């Protein structure tokens, strides 16, 4: 059995640096939510944190165009 990866011709493998959260779309969404809806607050309790998180997530979930624009990487358009 071969241990070599077979890459289809229509897929390009991009070498990514290790520990690069800016290249992970989920990390970009988290950063957006922190910067816009979750930062600079004093939370009353753990439940308050969870409530604010769910409110921010539902708000983002209702804005699919924002999710697409946050996750889009211009440097990846050429691939």
Confidence of residue 25 (pLDDT cuts 50, 70, 90): confident
Predicted confidence (pLDDT) at residue 79 exceeds the cutoff of 60: no
pTM over 0.85: no
Average pLDDT over residues 6-29: 79
Reduce the secondary structure of the chain to three states and give it as a string: CCCCCCCCCCCCCCCCCCCCHHHCHHHHHHHHHHHHHHCCCCCCCHHHHHHHHHHHHHHHHCCHHHHHHHHCCHHHCCC
Q: Determine contact, residues 13/7, Cβ cutoff 8 Å.
A: yes
């Amino acid at each position: 059995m071969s241990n070599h990866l077979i890459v289809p011709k229509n897929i390009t493998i991009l070498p990514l640096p290790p520990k690069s959260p800016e290249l992970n779309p989920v990390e970009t969404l988290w950063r957006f939510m922190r910067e816009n809806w979750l930062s600079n607050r004093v939370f009353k309790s753990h439940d308050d944190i969870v409530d604010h998180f769910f409110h921010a997530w539902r708000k983002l979930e209702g804005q699919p165009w924002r999710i697409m624009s946050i996750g889009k990487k211009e440097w990846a358009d050429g691939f």
